[in-house]
Amino acid sequence: MTGTDNSHTGKFIIRKYKAGDFDEVSALWEDTGMGNAKRGDNETIILDSLRLGGAFLILEEKSTGKIAGTSWMTFDGRRIHLHHFVIHHNHQGKGLASRLLEESLQFVREKGYQVKLEVNASNYKAINLYRKHGFEYLGDYDVYIIRDLTKIK
């Protein structure tokens, strides 16, 4: 996978997730507030989502091999859901988010299904990025989740 090459983005590659990436990915998510243990994400779930037709892209710094960003797309048979789209704080503002999102949307085009995402209403940088790339506000929806399965009656 490749993308536009300029002074900042040329220092990074975008590749597919591979088994063994999870510890570094998890640390990135913790560091950026994108994930935590309560969310229940683990390598088994990621690999299962890939087997079900999803994709997981890694933004990796060429010189260090460190993971600087992620884009996880799951497929439910109806839509692609974009999750855990994040660029490490040290690498924001360099055009990397656009590059990673463009690669993600290429997967969406190839798959041929609608794509949906959730974003915190106060995350204006992300909202502007998504709008710039064609996402439209869906409406006034509240999102609910059951994380603790013992609460299911």
Q: For the chain, what is the mean pLDDT? A: 91
- Going from the N-terminus, what domains does the chain have, and what CATH number goes with each? 9-151 (3.40.630.30)
- pTM for the structure as a whole: 0.88
Q: What is the average pLDDT across 91-106? A: 96
Tell me the β-bridge partners of 73.
Answer: 55, 82
Residue-level pLDDT at 40? 81
For the segment 54-73, the average pLDDT, to the nearest whole number, is 97
